[in-house]
Amino acid sequence: MKPQNDTFLRALKREKTDFTPVWLMRQAGRYLEEYRATRERAGSFMGLAQNPDYATEVTLQPIDRYGLDAAILFSDILTIPDAMDLGLSFVPGEGPQFAKPVQSEEAVNALFVPDPSEKLRYVTDAVTSIRKALNGRVPLIGFSGSPFTLACYMIEGRGSRDFRTVKTMMYRRPDLFERVLDINAEAVAQYLNAQIEAGAQAVQIFDTWGGMLADGDFQRWSLAYTKKVLDRLKKTHDGEAIPSIVFTKGGGEWLSEIAATGCDAVGLDWSTNITRARQVVGDKVALQGNLDPFVLFGTEEVIRREVRRVLDGYGAVGNGGHIFNLGHGINQFTPVENVQILVDEVHQYSRHLHD
């Protein structure tokens, strides 16, 4: 069943639309009072993410509030390594941590590809539940972390400023690092395909940490494994095309190479000039982005001005596709009323670019 509002999907396919669609990375999150209330009932972040009813509830909250053009599955990028029995926990004030980081040959050899129908069943159940609850209003996006980004968390055991442990393995034991990435690529492909089969109508790969690699290393250790995932993805389901988006934070240096992986759209962070990005990728892919999330802490006048700057930067849409988004996830302290200003300005102002 096609969504009643399929503007997001048509933009991904670079088809003509009446306006620029908008959704926001981390649009269901702590900045919303209703999300905080649901999370309190769930007892914890993982209690929220692992309960399909709660995940459905919070996924729909920003759709109900703002009239966005796509919903994104409420989950976390670390579900796959959690299903690998690495002992994921979320420590208040410190973020995710793994009890069993992958820092030895024995730990690498113990890794396995989790069956999405078993340990990750709660995710696919959530996708099915969300699709039903949306009732065709807007499309649903599934997602995963990239093989490289997952490896960063798995090897460090937590977030990191310099990824010293990851890069040590990368340079001293590339054979072990390749094995981690190969397993992750297979796991991500199976996981995303399971989401597609459960009802996801587009998928995004979050390569959050690819941009901290040197040129050459990015292509070898991040992009090559993202491409392995894309090569394995289902391109259609139930007779409908399933577009894919690749978002690499800090990836502006490699736009043409990311666009050549076979994805349908490239996500841009806020540091990338969208006009130049469009010149680089041409008509190969759609572009998604790329407002600085902290613009949402500005005045109404500033928010509207900066939204227009991004839209004008992309330019007349014609046969190209633009999906408006932030250049990274929405900040937890964002004023909720400012998000409505952003959505309204995108919808209203972009129409003159689609004549």
State both tokens at 137.
């209003």
Give the separation between CA 324 and CA 307, rounded to whole angstroms. 9
Question: Helices (DSSP H) in the chain: which residue ranges?
Answer: 7-12, 33-42, 45-49, 52-66, 79-83, 105-109, 121-134, 147-156, 164-172, 174-198, 217, 224-232, 255-259, 274-281, 300-314, 336-349
What pLDDT band is residue 316 in, cutting at 50, 70 and 90? Answer: confident
* Residue 94 banded pLDDT, cuts 50, 70, 90: confident
- Is the Cβ–Cβ distance between 181 and 227 less than 8 Å? no
The predicted-structure confidence for 279-311, as pLDDT tens digits, reads as follows 999 989 999 999 999 999 999 999 999 999 999
Is 70 exceeded by the pLDDT of residue 161?
yes
pLDDT of 355: 72
Q: Is the pLDDT of residue 66 over 70?
A: yes
Catalytically active residues, by annotation: 26, 30, 39, 76, 153
pLDDT at 320: 61
- Rounded to 5°, the CA angle 163-209-265 comes to 170
CB 75 within 8 A of CB 143: yes
Average pLDDT, the chain: 95
Claim: this prediction has a pTM higher than 0.85: yes
Backbone angles phi, psi at 60, to 5 degrees: -80, -15
pLDDT band at 54 (very low <50, low <70, confident <90, very high): very high
Residue-by-residue DSSP string for 93-156: TTEEEESS---SHHHHHT-----TTTTTHHHHHHHHHHHHHHTTSS-EEEEEE-HHHHHHHHHH
The number of angstroms, rounded, from the C-alpha of 339 to the middle of its chain's C-alpha atoms is 19
Whole-angstrom distance, CA of residue 205 vs CA of residue 211: 14
> What tokens were used for 271?
């540091």
**Measured CA distances, 348 to 62, 121, 312 (Å):** 19, 40, 13
What per-residue confidence (pLDDT) applies to 319? Answer: 61
CA distance 355 to 353: 6
Average pLDDT over residues 197-215: 97
Kindly tell me if the per-residue pLDDT of 91 is higher than 80: no
Share of the chain above pLDDT 70, in %: 99
* Sign, CA torsion 189/25/124/208: positive
Could you report the per-residue pLDDT of 228-239, keeping only the tens digit for each?
999 999 999 999
C-beta atoms surrounding 109 within 10 Å: 11
C-alpha closest to that of 269 among 207, 332, 194:
207
